[in-house]
Amino acid sequence: MRIVCPFCGERELGEFTYLGDAKPVRPAAGAGADAVYDYVYLRDNIAGVMSENWYHGGGCRAWLKVTRNTLTHEISAIEPAAGAGAAKVGA
Amino acid sequence: MAEFSWDVRSPLDRALAVGRYGARGDAGVTLTEIRNFDLVQVMARRGKAAEMAKAAKARFGSAAPKTPQAVQGSDATLIWSGPDQFFVLSKGGKHAIGALGQAFAQSASLSDQSHARVLISVSGVKARAMLAKLSSIDLHSGVFAVGAAAATSMDHTSVTLWRGNDLADGLAVFNVLVFATFAESLWHTMLDSAAEYGLAIAHSEQLA
């Protein structure tokens, strides 16, 4: 598998580290214990297209949001994660 | 009390032995460690990338690279190291960290990397063949031209790689910046990779 880093171009998998699902959103400060438990521990095990966080630690050290099919490894979208290369996000 | 020696030494001081190694005949690869440089990492503060670019232009006379490139400025090379960040490589203190603070005070955070990295210059007719064993970057002249740069990995070690100006005989020069503590490991890997082509080892005080 190769990932096309929006900053560096196409690179081999070995330069990247997988974090996991990019969907969970940190609950508000006053959210209950269930919401925090859900955010920290509970993950969907998706067979199909999912949004994932990847870290280009062997390259530009940017965090990326990768939309990948877990069955075929087909990647349909890659964008910088929020905060990575702040100028490029949303541009 | 124990006596300490605080002499500044290259992290390759023990590993590097000047001379001719590997296969006989003409050396296919030349490895040169460049010593005693000033290296400063410049990283834009959030939302200040445009200001940082302007400050770099004012300071170095050339725009900071926005894509993986190494740009020659006045008395310094600006090397892309990631989004909204770059290295300033120079000699003699003119662009050392103490001298750059004022220029980027409003736009970027600086970090002195002068003694944190080792700079290895790779050249010779077999330089590409040797580097192909270590890097997945396409270093063909038509793809990786003079001034091209990459933040990448060699032998599982993060490096900053860029192509400097060609030598007088037209051969390409590839510069590798590697973390000081990983330098010895990568150095030995480079020696192993280059042995079959014959290699010449040297160190220099001159930036290519």
B168-181 confidence digits (pLDDT tens): 999 999 999 999 99
Give the Cα separation of B43 and B6 in Å (integer): 30
Q: Evaluate whether residue A51 is within a structural domain.
A: yes
Total CB pairs under 8 A between chain A and B: 52
pTM of the shown model: 0.91
Mean pLDDT of A29-56: 94
User: Mean pLDDT over all residues of chain A?
Assistant: 89
Asked if residue A90 is part of any domain, the answer here is: no
Which of B46, B81, B153 is the closest to A14 by Cβ?
A: B153
Question: Does a structural domain hold residue A73?
Answer: yes
Which amino acid, A83? G
Res B62 pLDDT > 70: yes
Give me the percent of chain B exceeding a pLDDT of 70. Answer: 100
SS3 label, residue B78: strand
Given a cut of 60, whether residue B155 has pLDDT beyond it is yes
pLDDT above 70: residue A28: yes
Residue A89: inside a domain = no
- Res. A81: pLDDT tops 90: no
How high does pLDDT run on average in chain B? 95
Exposed, middle or buried: residue B142 (CB in 10 Å: 0-12, 13-18, 19+)? exposed
| CA distance linking residue B34 with residue B76, whole number of Å | 15
Q: Identify the domain containing residue A42 by its residue range.
A: 2-80
Which of B41, B45, B158, B179 should be substituted to probe chain A, the one whose Cβ sees the most A Cβ atoms within 10 Å? B158
Q: Would the CATH topology of B19-35+116-204 be identical to that of B38-112? A: no
- Dist. CA A65–CA B72, nearest whole Å: 33
Query: Is A88 within a domain?
Result: no
d(CA A52, CA A1): 15
Identity of the amino acid at A4: V
CB-CB neighbors (< 8 A) of A60 in chain B: 81-83, 151
Fold of B38-112: Alpha-Beta Plaits (3.30.70)
Distance CA A17, CA B108 (A): 27
pLDDT beyond 90 at B34: yes
Domain total of chain A: 1
Q: Does A52 touch chain B (CB under 8 A)?
A: no
Alpha-carbon distance values, B117 to A71, A83, B183 (Å): 41, 26, 8
Domain ranges of chain B: 19-35+116-204, 38-112
Facing A85 at nearest CB: one of B84, B150, B158: B84
Spatial CA neighbour of B135 closest among A14, A87, A81, A90: A14
The enclosing domain of A71 has a CATH number of: 3.30.2270.10
- From the list A8, A61, A86, the residue facing B46 with the nearest CB is A86
What is B19-35+116-204's CATH topology? Gyrase A; domain 2 (3.30.1360)
CB contact under 8 A, A62 and B44: no
